[in-house]
C-alpha cells in the first residue's frame, strides 16, 4: 500500500500549528513515508489566526522538498491550504486560485467548529459558482453537522466532496465523532480520508492503518489514491466501489437522524 496521497496535512515548518522547525517537518514526513504515503499536499491554515499566503507556502514547499531529496525520503510535497470558511470571503480574488489543492481547482475548506453555523451553504455555493470545487475538511468534527446532517447532505448533493480525518475513524477525537464519520461512510458522504497530521506522534500522518482498523480496508485505494489523483489532476471523480458497513447499524439508528 505504498501509494497513499494525503490531501490534508500540516507539514510546513513554522507557519501554523504544525511543525515548528524543518527538522520536525522531516520527522513528520519520515513517519508518513513509513505509513505508506508518497504524496503529501501541504495544507497550512489560512485563517484569521494564521493569515498565510501562497508565496510563503510555495517557498516552504520547495525548501522542504529539497531537504527531503537530501535525506533520500521518497515523498513529494505539493502546495495547498486549509482555508477557514470564515476567512474565505476576505481572501483577495487573485490570491484564492493560488491556494488550491496541489495548485488545482479544488479548495480545501474548513467549516467552523461552532455549534451553530449560518451562511455555510452560501459560502460553498458562492465559491462553486466562481468555478472552484469544494472539498470540506473534517465535517465529522463539526458540531453543526452533528445536529443537522441534512446540511451536510445538501452540500454534497450540490457538488461538494468531503475529506474526513483518519483519526476520527478510530476514536482519536470522540466516540461521537467516530460514529458520525462511520455513518457518513455508510451514506456515501465520504470521498477522501486524509491525515490532518500536525506532528508524528500526537496528530500522526497515518491513514491506511486507520482505515484497516475501522473495517474500511476495501475502500482504501479509492479514498486515498483514486479520488486524490482525480482532485489533483482536475479529472472527474471515479465512482465509489460497492461497500457496506453492516456492523454499525445499531449505532446508526441511535445517532443518525433519518432522512426526511
Ligand atoms: Fe487541518
Give the pLDDT band (50/70/90) at residue 244.
confident
Q: Give mean pLDDT, residues 10-33.
A: 97
* Spatial distance between the Cα atoms of 30 and 75, rounded to a whole number of angstroms: 8
Q: How far is the CA of 26 from the centre of ligand 1 (A)?
A: 18
Note the pLDDT of residue 106: 98
CA of 17 to the centre of ligand 1 (A): 9
Q: How far is the CA of 23 from the centre of ligand 1 (A)?
A: 20
How far apart are the C-alpha atoms of 199 and 26, rounded to whole Å? 10
How many CB atoms lie under 10 A from the CB of residue 58? 14
**34-55 average pLDDT score:** 97
Read off the pLDDT of each residue in 188-204 and give the average, rounded to a whole number. Answer: 95
Helix (H, G, I), strand (E, B) or coil at 93: coil
Q: For residue 2, is pLDDT > 90?
A: no
The CATH code of domain 4-255 reads 3.20.20.140
- pLDDT at site 253: 47
CA distance 102 to 78: 5
Of the candidates 128, 46, 51, 120, the residue with the CA atom closest to the CA atom of residue 80: 46
What is the rounded average pLDDT of the residues 220-248? Answer: 90
Contact 205, 172 (CB under 8 A): no
pLDDT of residue 116: 77
| Cβ 123 vs Cβ 89: under 8 Å | yes
Q: Which residues have a Cβ under 8 Å from the Cβ of 134 and sit 6 or more positions away?
A: 106, 107, 109, 124, 127, 128, 155, 159, 160, 161
Q: What is the mean pLDDT of the chain?
A: 92
What pLDDT is stored for residue 131 in this prediction? 95
**The pLDDT of residue 249:** 46
Residues with CB under 5 Å of ion ligand 1 are 82, 196
Distance from the CA of 162 to the center of ligand 1, in angstroms?
13
Measured distance CA(65)–CA(42) in Å, rounded: 11
pLDDT at 250: 46
Share of the chain above pLDDT 70, in %: 93
| pLDDT of the residue at 70 | 98
Domain boundaries, the chain: 4-255
Distance, in Å, from the CA atom of 209 to the CA atom of 216, rounded to the nearest integer, reads: 10
* Residue linked to cell 473534517: 138
Average pLDDT of the segment spanning 152-170: 97
Ligand 1 geometric centre to CA of 2 (Å):
23
Tens digit of pLDDT for each residue in 127-150?
Answer: 999 999 999 999 999 999 999 999
pLDDT at 247: 62
Residue 60 CA to ligand 1 center (angstroms) comes to 17
Give me the numbers of helices (H) and strands (E) for the chain, helices first please.
11, 9
Is pLDDT at 215 greater than 90 in this prediction? yes
Give the Å distance between the CA of 43 and the centre of ligand 1. 7
Closest to 194 measured CA to CA, from 179, 205, 178, 180 = 205
The answer to whether 155 touches 136, Cβ cutoff 8 Å, is: yes
Confidence band of 256 (pLDDT split at 50, 70, 90): low
User: 82 CA distance to ligand 1 centroid (A)?
Assistant: 6
3-state secondary structure at position 225: helix
Neighbours of 47 (CB within 10 A): 18
Predicted pLDDT of residue 118 = 79
DSSP state at residue 187: T
CA of 9 to the centre of ligand 1 (A): 6
pLDDT for the residue numbered 243: 85
Q: Residue 16 in contact with residue 55, Cβ under 8 Å?
A: no
Residue scoring higher pLDDT (116 or 223): 223
pLDDT reported for residue 254: 52
Compute the average pLDDT of residues 2-6: 88
Give pLDDT tens digits for 56-89: 999 999 999 999 999 999 999 999 999 999 999 8
Instruction: Go through 141-159 and write b for each residue having 16 or more CB atoms within 10 A of its CB, e for each that does not.
Output: bbbbbbeebebbeebbeee
Report the share of the chain in percent with pLDDT over 90.
86
User: What distance in angstroms lies between residue 260's CA and the mean position of ligand 1's atoms?
Assistant: 32
Amino acid at each position: 500500500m505504498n501509494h497513499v496521497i494525503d490531501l490534508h496535512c500540516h507539514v510546513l515548518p513554522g507557519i501554523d500549528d504544525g511543525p515548528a522547525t524543518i527538522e520536525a517537518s522531516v520527522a513528520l514526513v519520515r513517519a508518513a513515508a513509513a505509513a505508506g504515503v508518497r504524496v503529501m499536499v501541504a495544507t497550512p491554515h489560512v485563517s484569521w489566526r494564521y493569515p498565510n499566503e501562497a508565496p510563503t507556502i510555495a517557498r516552504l514547499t520547495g525548501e522542504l522538498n529539497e531537504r527531503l531529496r537530501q535525506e533520500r525520503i521518497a515523498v513529494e510535497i505539493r502546495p495547498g491550504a486549509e482555508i477557514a470558511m470564515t476567512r474565505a470571503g476576505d481572501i483577495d480574488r487573485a490570491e484564492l486560485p493560488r491556494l488550491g489543492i496541489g495548485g488545482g481547482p479544488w479548495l480545501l475548506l474548513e467549516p467552523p467548529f461552532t455549534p451553530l453555523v449560518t451562511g455555510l451553504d452560501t459560502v460553498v455555493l458562492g465559491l462553486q459558482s466562481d468555478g472552484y470545487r469544494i472539498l470540506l475538511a473534517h465535517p465529522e468534527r463539526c458540531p453543526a453537522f452533528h445536529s443537522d446532517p441534512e446540511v451536510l447532505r445538501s452540500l454534497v448533493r450540490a457538488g461538494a466532496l468531503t475529506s474526513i480525518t483518519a483519526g476520527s475513524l478510530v476514536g482519536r477525537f470522540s466516540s461521537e465523532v467516530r460514529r458520525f464519520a462511520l455513518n457518513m461512510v455508510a451514506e456515501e458522504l465520504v470521498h477522501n480520508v486524509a491525515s490532518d497530521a500536525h506532528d508524528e506522534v500526537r496528530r500522526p500522518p497515518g491513514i491506511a492503518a486507520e482505515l484497516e482498523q475501522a473495517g474500511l480496508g476495501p475502500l482504501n485505494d479509492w479514498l486515498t489514491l483514486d479520488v486524490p489523483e482525480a482532485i489533483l489532476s482536475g479529472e472527474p471523480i471515479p465512482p465509489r466501489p460497492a461497500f457496506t458497513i453492516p456492523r454499525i447499524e445499531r449505532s446508526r439508528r441511535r445517532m443518525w437522524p433519518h432522512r426526511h
